[in-house]
Amino acid sequence: MFEGQSITIIDKWGRVRIPVRFLRIFEDKCGRDVFVSSQDDESVMVFPMSEWDGIASRINRMWKDDRELKNIMRKMNLNGLIANIDKKGRVLIHKDLRRKTKLKGRIVIEGGKGHLILKRID
């Protein structure tokens, strides 16, 4: 769904402007409600809520038998918050998540299968 990458910045309030090519996909297909989280404390993932709901539902059905899936889901829920893409195309990355992932200043946004991945530029 999301393809390519862009370089952008996190402003001093922790907001990231979603590149126009990705923002159009959110607006056309997904809406502006998102789930923002991390599973590895190195990158942030931004899921459209419709995508996240589907993933969470599938994982919740399977996790009873899979300890690794259970741990991933627990970490995603602990790190995650529901957010909204504002009228200017920005999404807030909450302070604890920015601290854990060390995201600040210039970052890269990569398209993933059904979500965006935000990574630091070292």
CATH number, domain of 21, equals 3.40.1550.20
In the prediction, which pLDDT does 63 show?
A: 62
Range of the domain at 116: 5-120
DSSP-derived 3-state class of residue 12: coil
Position 95 pLDDT exceeds 90: yes
* 105 and 122 Cβ atoms separated by less than 8 Å: no
How far apart (Å, rounded) are the C-alpha atoms in residues 20 and 24?
6
Stretch among 11-25, 26-40, 69-83, 96-110 having the lowest mean pLDDT: 69-83
Count the domains in the chain.
1
Please tell me whether residue 11 adopts helix, strand or coil conformation: coil
Higher pLDDT residue, 69 or 106? Answer: 106
Predicted TM-score (pTM) of this structure = 0.88
Question: Using one digit for the tens of pLDDT, what is the confidence trace for 9-66?
Answer: 999 999 999 999 999 888 888 889 999 999 888 999 999 998 888 888 877 777 667 7
Backbone dihedral angles phi then psi of residue 20, each to the nearest 5 degrees = -55, -45
User: Which contacts of 3-7 are long-range, i.e. CB under 8 A and separated by 24 or more positions?
Assistant: 3/111, 4/110, 4/111, 5/108, 5/109, 5/110, 5/111, 6/108, 6/109, 7/106, 7/107, 7/108, 7/109, 7/121
More confident residue, 64 or 8: 8
pLDDT of residue 64: 65
